[in-house]
Chains A and B, each alone.
Chain A
Amino acid sequence: MALKIVKGSIDRMFDKNLQDLVRGIRNHKEDEAKYISTCIDEIKQELKQDNIAVKANAVCKLTYLQMLGYDVSWAAFNIVEVMSSSKFTYKRIGYLAASQCFHEGTDVIMLTTNQIRKDLSSPNQYDTGVALTGLSCFVTPDLARDLANDIMTLMSHTKPYIRKKAVLIMYKVFLKYPESLRPAFPRLKEKLEDPDPGVQSAAVNVICELARRNPKNYLSLAPLFFKLMTSSTNNWVLIKIIKLFGALTPLEPRLGKKLIEPLTNLIHSTSAMSLLYECVNTVIAVLISLSSGMPNHSASIQLCVQKLRILIEDSDQNLKYLGLLAMSKILKTHPKSVQSHKDLILQCLDDKDESIRLRALDLLYGMVSKKNLMEIVKKLMLHVDKAEGTTYRDELLTKIIDICSQSNYQYITNFEWYISILVELTRLEGTRHGHLIASQMLDVAIRVKAIRAFAVAQMATLLDNAHLLTGNTQRNGICEVLYAAAWICGEFAEHLEDPMLTLEAMLRPKVATLPGHIQAVYVQNAAKLFATVLQKHEGETDSQAAQETSQLLIDRLPLFVQSANLEVQERASCILQLVKYIQKLQQKNVEVAEEVTALFAGELNPVAPKAQKKVPIPEGLDLDAWINEPPSESESEDEKPKAVFAKEEPKHSRSRHTEVDEKELARRREARKQEQANNPFYIKASPSSQKVYDAPGVEHIPVVQIDLSVPLKVPGMPMSDQYVKLEEERRQKEKADKKKKEKKKKREKRGKGRKGDSGPESEEDITPAHHVDIVTEEMPENALPSDDDDKDPNDPHKALDIDLDNLLSGAGSRPLADSEKLPVRTHRPEVLKSPAEDRDDNTIPQETKKKSSKDKKEKKKDKEKDRKRSKEDKKKKKKHKDVEEELPESLPEEVVQSEETKEASDLDFWLSSAPVPPVAQVVTVSSSAAAATVDSSSAAAAESEPEELKDTEPDDTKSSKHKKKKQKKEKEEKEKKKKKRHHHHHHHHSDAGAEDSVQNGTVEDEEPLPPMSNYSLLAENSYIKMVCDIQGNHQDESKVVVSVIFENKSDSFLKSMEFNVLDSLNSKLQRPDGAGPHDGLTVPFQLPPGVSNEARFVFSVQSIVMPQKLKGTLTFIVKTDESSTHEKLDFKLHFTCTSYLITTPCYSDAYAKLLESGDLKGSSLRLEGVNMPFHHLLARICFHHHFSVVERIDSCASMYSRSIQGHHVCLLVKSSDQTVSIDAKCDEPSLLGNVLDEIKQTFSKC
């Protein structure tokens, strides 16, 4: 056998391996393609062999060829073969090839499902790792669906190497199979606190990626991330978290407030530039989200800007680039802080690196003010001249226009200057942005009435020098400007000094080389000019000149009539006819000017873009309705089309037709000819157009036009610089003037049409040179508010927009619980399964009952495992130091809703609780508890909810509404899931199968549960009412958290509340260091009348097997307007055994093992006369006693809970005819006895 292998490998060693292939390709540089094709033939031969090593070698070579651009998809099946090799070496080659060339369209992928599953559960971690890596590249929706469960199991693998890969790949699974997000999320969240930093980083990575697309669903994780941010030292993780916060803050400004301080601390302390940069970025995001101009944040802005300046000044181009990038974000909200660094930014404009120049350009946009606009633009114009590449120059051009035109020309004080800038820009060679300049010219000329005369003069010069723009074909882009020039000259012809000259310029033969749409405008506006000229001449009673003008048009227009462009042709012939008619009238000495002008009378108002779209549809107008009755189909064939217009007509023409004979026609033709001959306006067929040019006249002396590549300084075209100087002088003068007439200062305000004028105070002084009346754009009355662009419907992330808060609470827990209690089957370390165990699990049938019949050997094994696990469990618990709690799960959906609003309020609580200096222990507890995610026990009683929410009410009502919708969705989803589960039954492992029952012990169509509350009355008097809830703290086995809600019932102000309890040997109130054992704790708030608030107190407990009662006193001062009195209220805190239990989910298999272990002592209880539906009963036990349902079959259910000290409590609840029997097992009999007593009490109460 060994000999055979050696022989095979000797055969093989003369096969080409990857190195040989590479070498061969390098040696065949001239006929590479040919060489490769022979290699591919060889590979095909190799793939046909049975030897897997040969195949793997071939596949490896294919991977290389794939990189060179060869399609290797034909070998997909062979790749699958190599993937399924048992040897790691080959498997890895196969997976690599698959990851490089498989995609959703590869059909052999569906053959891989089982192979991948096998590899995922391989005992060799590298097999698993390689499979995960490969899968991450080619996962399809099918694979994701089939393997989601396996990968989820791997998320709790014992090896961090596997865990981190499994966590990371979940993102890909979510993308392909969005339904997996909800069930997997709790476990993913749990991984955020994995002891291994790699796994933690992976989880952060995945959640950040998810949250980036749908941030609102992850808001509730903010407290957890906050904690990570303050505790983590891994820069990579920190960067991710900080980036995530950047995405979350816009949704929740209060979060921003909380972030500012730690972020600024980080900025000060970190030495990592990458981290510093991200902090600055997020602080910027925070500042943007907060309403701007908050005085106490100006320090943060200053800090950011200052740090960015350091970056920009750095010699490292990367930092410079990033500094500018971040700066542009600040710019939007805090332009002033950026403006002070103008020098630096202008300096960057001169940088040799184009990326940096572009960034600096972006910034300029916000740097301008009325004062410096001219200066900045002047500088940019210099750059325009210097710039060598067209892209950068075009970018400069658009930026100049952007800068000047921003917010309705807010910063332009002198429009003459702007127009001349635009005119100067027309000299740019080869720019693509001619139309941009043109539209600016039009816009300014139309909207700034005062500038029209100037603009028209400028445009006239442009038209006159049009050859400079059009001369070179390369300059085509810029000739768009002529469009604007022609239109402006025509429309505002009354401002023209010499309209005749312009008219002549517009009718030059060279115009015919312009693009059609420009010619059309030329023709039309020539007509307008003509009207003006006529009027002028008639005013001067210079009929000779008027007639010459008509003649000019008649001479030149035929050129346009011949145009190939329809628009030009049509307009030209219309106008030609018109002019001819006018000429005729002129010859009769009729005054026509007025009538001709009337043709173009009326002002054209600018209309806002989208104005048409925004016209609201009048009420009652149904655009889809028929205007007339629709024609019935049966009639249509034989009936003649109903003549809407004159019925008589066809008949009439027919009769006429018969009357007209040949003779008549001939006679008419003759008459027409006669008429045409006499008609001076009629253009005779042939030589007329040439004649035009033969005609003597100064205009027709051929002018040689010189195309200069260097633009001339066009006479009469003022340089913009000139204006800068003028403007300077004007401002000086104005200043002087102003001093004289201080009192009349306000009179000189800028035109009223200007809107959005929010220049800083100092700039108010600069008044525009003209009384600029910027005409605002017209909008239809009651136009609808602007509609935003919609998101891309194809975005795969849209499917991941799943409300996870809803999940967190929806799937199980009780009212008043919060987002933290997840329906986590995965929270428990018990669930940590190695793949081997997983396989065991699969062999165990789902039903617990059958398990008892398992053979003893296995039982023993299980026992051992179980013990190991519980050890692990304890270890883990110690590791967790944070205050975090789990609460019972399983509740009917109806209760979910109230809980959801609750949960929102918890986030609110976290957000609103300002970091209080840790004076008293209570405070530290509450704030640290807060930091540990939305604190669980903060849940308040349902009845006190409105008061508690008072300060955040608007928010809450909104969110609850929003959530209601979500809930509906969720319901649907659940149903869907249910169906799916049916279909893919075999795919689901025991844990998934048990999910339904774990979720909430109720079947969906069962009747709703009454609302429940765990808050019980602690004490009450006429001033104050205290209700409390006691919860175990699963992170610390000796701590119990008591949440007390204080409600002020009086009309007076309650303050200086002090909470004190007489400690017993077993239970002690945790007091701050240095406080005596009998000192009370100050309640960290005061209560205005009618308000309630919650405080939390931590107790340490030693033994938890017995219930306890502690006596306590609350002292407080009642303050009314006149007086203040000391009051006190005694209370008794009742620590039941139940309060030491923590809802802990448990899978049926683990549960069965637990029961089989025999470590547990039994006890039982019978309840008679319990008159409630079974699911209510279960919900009550779950809710009041912190149990979770493991499995439910009809009217029999197994339940589980765990004490803070790790005791297991198992219940088997059976119900028949108002009798409920509970069989219970626990490793601590006295604890069990007490718990059962308490359960009994619960049911005796109702």
Chain B
Amino acid sequence: VSCCCCCCVLLTAPGAAQMAEWNAYYRNEDDEEEQEEGEQSGGDYKITGRDSLVFLVDASKEMFIKGEDGQPSNFDMTMQVVRSVYASKIISSHRDLMALVFYGTEQSKDPSKSFKHVYVYHDLDEPGAKRVQEVDALRGGKGAQLAAETMGSGETSLGDALWCCANLYSDIKLRLSHKRLMIFTCRDKPHEGDSVKDRQARTKSGDLKETGVIIDLMHLMKPDGFDVAPFFRDIISPPEDESELGLQLEPCDKLEDLQKRVRAKEQKKRAQARLHLCLGEGINVAVGIYATAVTARKPAPIRLYRETNEPVRSKTRTFHTQTGSLLLPSEIKKSQVYGKKQIVMEKDEVDAIKKFEDPGMFLIGFKPMERLKRHHHIRPAAFIYPEEDEVKGSACLFSALLTKCHERNVFALCRCVSRRNYPPRFVALVPQKEEVDEGKVQISPSGDTLLGSTKEPNGKIQVDKMKEIVSKLRFKYRSDAFENPVIQQQYRNLEALALDMMAPEDTEDLIMPKVDQMDQRLGPLVQEFKDLVYPADYNPEGKPAAKRKTGGAEKKPKVEVPEDELRAHVQNGTLGKLTVPVLKEACKKFGVHTTGTKKQELIDALVDQLGQ
């Protein structure tokens, strides 16, 4: 994450449960997902339109020159980046549209057949398996060969290329919310001083920008440096941040840098919510809330018609069991059962009790940073950033608040209602420095002096030995270093099926410890440490010997309960004492139909049936 100057919001719900049940979380993962999705992904995403991204790649000879020491050529690097963006879009936002266009080619290919030396490799569409494969084909030495055969390198007219891209956009009938075009090139004077072509390119880029397309330059390294000023400065969109002066950016010569730069631009900043941060009566700062990380999930399955493999739509209807007529909202109510009591409410009452106040953040006060405990975390953090377009003056007050909070090492505690009819939560606004400077990190004092005796008296030797182990296995944490093996596997499988591959590509499980390497690095340290902490006859992998048995052999759950006993439980309201398997068995036995699997649902069903 390229760090920025803004606040980190840590969302904490008041009264978060301490030590909750494991099962509750794991079993209900599905329910939870739905809720979280709703809250995190931001409601406006689906409705406002698609995002689009056009890669406009220079295919001139210069792009194919290999770097020193066998470094990949600029073209190769670009294809790798395009490939990774395709693949990641498929996972994160498959509905975005992408195109890949080459300019400076010998051959020409475009839907309107009216441009020379422009090759539309992929027009604007959702990326799919085939496209990923086709981009793959352009990578490496073979890829350069294929490119030379199919497209070749020829004259350059960036104006034509941009015009062609403009046509791609206008051919799209869908509503596009965000349009971006990235130019990948290592030539700062593509037309070699041909002023007519330069002017034409400027005009076309102006047209594009006018229709809301943002043009970025991903300039790549060339031997004598890349000068943005003479030509490209007028082509690209002005940077949104005036101080940044994107023009001064160094050209990329490493894949990693390029990847980062593309990634940073490729996603549109989407505020999850825009709110007022209310400091007091009449002091409202407009802010947007941005998530830096949103849990990517396996895609939901869709249903297909067996005969044709076409997707089918599902319709859910609510109707009256007896009359069969559709039920209107006014004809249904909501109900919950506590104990033996049914409590009924109108649907709008159910909504109304969730409402506390209108969305917004309300300042309560400030607390020193050390009051914010790591273990209070209950949901991912987000950034907030002022929205000067909404309330003028927001940025200045926000900036002042930020500076002072940072200087005094305090955070702001706010009550936050993120959406309509959401209950309030408390959030901590934590000032975030613009950059994390490794040099400034304090060397911590030895912990022993500060702390009183702990329950396990621990010798210094053991700790020191462990310190050696820790130091041996030290690495630099990068948040983007770990792919999710579950999701990757799912997509490899789909890819294999989509492309009729024999077997899915192997995925490396990056979150598996590299045990052999670790053992090798640690060498004798492990044994030395074990000698210090474990007695000779201790088996850390076994059960502890000292465990007391509680009365004989472990009881197998008695699955069946006599009917009268069960009725007594119903009568006394003590069904809760029985275990879920017993309850399920009881449901079966009495022919109680229940769709629920939660304990309470089983109990409710049994009470319904037997309590009458």
Q: Do A and B bind each other?
A: no
